[in-house]
Amino acid sequence: MMVQKFRNTPVGCRGLALVLLLVVCTVTISSAGSPPEDEWFRIFDSTEVVLYSMQALPGGGYVAGGEAALGAAVVFLNETGCPDRIVYVQGALAASAYIYVREMPDDGLLLVSDRQEIVAASSAGKPRWTYVPGENRTIRAIDTADGGAVFVADADRSVLVRLSGEGEEEWIRPLGSGNGEDRYHARSVRSLPGGGVVVGGRVATPQGTAAFLLVAGDDGAIVREQHYPQYEEITLIQPVSEGGYMAAATSADSVTSPTARGAVSLLGIASDGTIRFESPVTAYFSSVVILSPLSDGGYIIAGPTPDSLGGAGGFMIMRTVENGETAWTRTIPDAVVTSVQQTPDGGYMIGGLRKSVSDDAGASFLIKMAPETVPTPAPSGGTGLIAGVALAVLAAGYGRRIRRS
C-alpha cells in the first residue's frame, strides 16, 4: 500500500466557472419544483486522477475509487471536494482502476477493480482480503452484507454469491430452473435489513422474457420469486423501510437500446411481490442506472436522458417523494454520472465524468448540492451503487489519460 498526500493547493482539484465546467439545466415538467443550489463543484485533472465511483462519508468528506499515476487507487477528498490523499491499494491482481467503492459498516472499504477483483480494505486502505469470481464471470451488482459482501455475476447466466467478513464463500446460488431452460440475468442486488437479499433482473424462458424479483434467505435459498411479463427487466431494486421495494424497470425497446424510446418506470412493490404503483419516467430517462434512498422515504434517481430532451449523451437527476412523484429534476449535459447520494447534511453529491468537451474530455467531476429547505440526515444505510455503471464508463475509454510513472 502506498499513500500520496497533497500539500497546499491540491493537485488535480480545480474550481471553474459554471459555464466552463457543467452547463447544468433545470427541467421543470408538470408540477416539479426547483432543485437546491450548488454549494461547490470540482473538476479533476484527468492526467493526474480519474474517479469512477464516489461516496460521501458519514463523518464528512468523500472517498472515491479510480486510477492515478501508479495504478488503481482510492482517493480521499476533504469536505470541499479537494483530494487529501491517494492510497494505492494492492490486490492479488494488477489492476488499473477501482471502479466501485463503498464504505463497510465496520468503517472499512469494499472495492471492485477493473480486473473484476473484490477487495476489502481498512479505512486507511490496507487490504484485508481479496476475492476473484471464477469462470470468467462479470460482476453486475454488489452490496455489503454483515461485514462481507453479496454480489451477482454473469457468465451465460447469473449466480448469487455471499462472502463472509473474511472473504470466504458462504454460498453460491445459480439463478434459474433445474432444467436449465430459463436464463436469469441479474442486474441489481441489495442486502435486506432483517437478513437475506433481494435481486432484480430479467429472465428468458421458452414463453418469452420478463422482469423478475426474487428474495433469498441468509442461507441463499430462494424464498420468494415474482415475474412481471409487462416489463423486460428490473434494472435496480431497493428495499423500503416499511417493507416492500422500490424498483426501476424497463420495457423491451429500452432494454435493447440505451437510447430507445421504450417505457421506463418506477415501481412500488409490496413485500409479497405485487405492484402497488407504477410511475412512468420515460419523459426523463432512457434508462435508470442509479436509485438511491433518501431519509424522508423518497429517492434520488439518475440515468441517461432520452432524445426528447435534446440531451442524448447527458444525464438526468431526479428527486422523488415516497410515492414516486417528482419533486425536482436537473440535467447534466455531455456527461456520464456514476455516483449520486444524499450527504450527511441532507444535501446531495453528484459525481461522474465529462464526455467530449475540449481538453476536459474524460475529466472527473464532483458537485455538492445544498440541503433542501428542511434538511434531514442521510439514511444510515447509505447508497447501493452498481459496478455496471463504472464498468461501462471504463469500457468506453473515458479517462485513460493518466501519466504513468
C-alpha dihedral sign at 268, 274, 280, 284: positive
pLDDT digits (tens, 9 = 90+) for 133-171: 987 888 999 999 888 999 999 877 899 999 999 999 999
CATH architecture of 2-395: 6 Propeller (2.120)
Among the ranges given (18-22, 47-51, 182-186, 396-400), the one the predictor scored with the smallest mean pLDDT = 18-22
% of residues, the chain, pLDDT over 70: 77
CA distance 70 to 88: 7
- Residue 380 CB-density burial (10 A; 0-12 exposed, 13-18 middle, 19+ buried): exposed
The pLDDT of residue 21 = 40
**Sequence-separated (6 or more) residues with CB below 8 Å from residue 220:** 160, 162, 170, 171, 172, 173
Residue 263 has pLDDT above 50, yes or no: yes
Q: Mean pLDDT across the chain, nearest whole number? A: 81
Q: What are residue 75's DSSP bridge partners?
A: 64, 86
14 DSSP assignment: B
**Sequence-separated (6 or more) residues with CB below 8 Å from residue 246:** 237, 238, 240, 266, 267, 268, 269, 291, 293, 299, 324
Reported as a pLDDT band with limits 50, 70 and 90, residue 252 is low
Joined together, the cell numbers standing for residue 5 give: 498526500
CA distance 214 to 187: 12
Phi then psi for residue 254, to 5 deg, are -75, -20
Reported as a pLDDT band with limits 50, 70 and 90, residue 258 is very low
Nearest to 240 by CA among 164, 165, 296, 284: 296
pTM: 0.85
CA distance 385 to 383: 6
CA distance 298 to 379: 11
The pLDDT of residue 325 = 83
Helix (H) or strand (E) holding 19: helix 18-21
pLDDT digits (tens, 9 = 90+) for 314-343: 899 999 887 778 899 999 988 889 999 999
The pLDDT of residue 228 = 96
